[in-house]
Structure 1
Amino acid sequence: MNSVETEYYSICADTQLLEFVGYRNELSMLSMTLALLKSRLHALKTVSFEVDEKLTECQKFALMYRAGQQDIFEITVQKIEQMKRNIIQKMNQDIKEKRIAPLAPFLNINNPDYYQPSIEIDSSSPFITLDTVVITPKRLLNKDSEFSNVISELFEDSEEEADVIMMLCLIKENSNQSSEWREFFDKISLNCLNIQADESLQEMYNSMIPVFSEEFPSVFSPELFTLESFAWADHVLNTYSIDNPLAIVPL
């Protein structure tokens, strides 16, 4: 859970509400579990042993146990990858049907009886990738070539500055009234009315935006890239994002 989810669930006494916290949490949990299991599996596969007559009985049994552990890890990884594919399919189905939880943040505890984690997924459906159901910097930058070119010029290491780039992209996209994520932006903005920029965020803003606006006034309009919009984007990033890859979950 991130800090917002922890706050909402800190006094949760209904274990059923913990079965499915929300799409962001589910994706984050499955990705983290996969990473942990794959690291263990990689450790097992990087060293190979050959069974020969010189091995003691205990050594042979140890290798048998090791092989069994590898089988268990591989089966578990496959199972969790399937669970992740199902979640992505469910998200894609919600997006197609223009379904979004009534209240932000989009958590089960905040939207009782809304989420249906057990709905059936058609096995014949085409494979859906994660980046088609989340908001990534790449998807946002592809919408505006001028903005994308300026971002490339300003940030040499896009991976190192991924968080800041995402924030700038979110501010830019939120200004688009016909954005495909318009409902998402409108609903979450209701929870951001009293968001204030802390000192570190204000320092970051002051170190970048005035310079960007002076150098690229047609891209970084001072009326659009305000401290308030910067604080809004930071809140969205902290509340609705997943890592590896960095993305915003808009459901």
Structure 2
Amino acid sequence: MAELVYPPVIGAARTLFKALDLRFDIAGTEHVPTSGGAVLVSNHIGYLDFVFAGLAARPAKRLVRFMAKESVFRHKVSGPLMRAMKHIPVDRAAGMDAYRHAVTALRGGEIVGVFPEATISQSFTLKQFKSGAARMAQEAGVPLLPVALWGTQRLWTKGRKRDFGRNHFPITIRVGEPLEAPKDTSAVKLTETLRERMQELLEAAQAAYPAKPRGPEDSWWLPAHLGGTAPAPNAASA
């Protein structure tokens, strides 16, 4: 079936990126499979992360069906768009329906996007991962595709006003090698391995990031262990 909505939305996003003068550094897109199912797994540091994680799949000409909270699908503007782009609603009170929907999509050759931290990390470090992504990959017989984002928090994140000025923000995206998800491996162990891979990718993205804080008041987007003023993980969780 023809994709009538998703490509125009991507085009609109690219126009916005150009208007904002965002500077992209994307590496590892050769790891995105050109066909077949995969679970794309990304860290979560900003409200627009699904846009940037999906961008990583475009060189392979793939569209990502993201799992998102059900309330987004009830919104009068975003709801019709999300449904038309075949994203997957997640009702946290009845999550099994979304899980089955995702597994069916994966078996049908789709890439399904998941944020295993579930919510935005206000410390900008990796939170604990939920095991759903690993279990879906195992059940569908598809690989896990790790993606690390950095810089997206500077545009719009929890607890901060969005900044859509022409600030030339760099956005760094790193795509890792697919991680196989054998069914005879513990989902918990597989999730631990996935998180380790994601940590390596995130550190690589941070090391490659070309911008530094413009002063002490601008260090909010850096985690504490990198000299920034973002709350430490324990404080952020509290």
TM-score w.r.t. the length of structure 2 is 0.27
Query: Which has a greater percent of helix?
Result: 1
Query: Which has a greater percent of strand?
Result: 2
TM-score w.r.t. the length of structure 1 is 0.26
Larger C-alpha radius of gyration, 1 or 2? 1
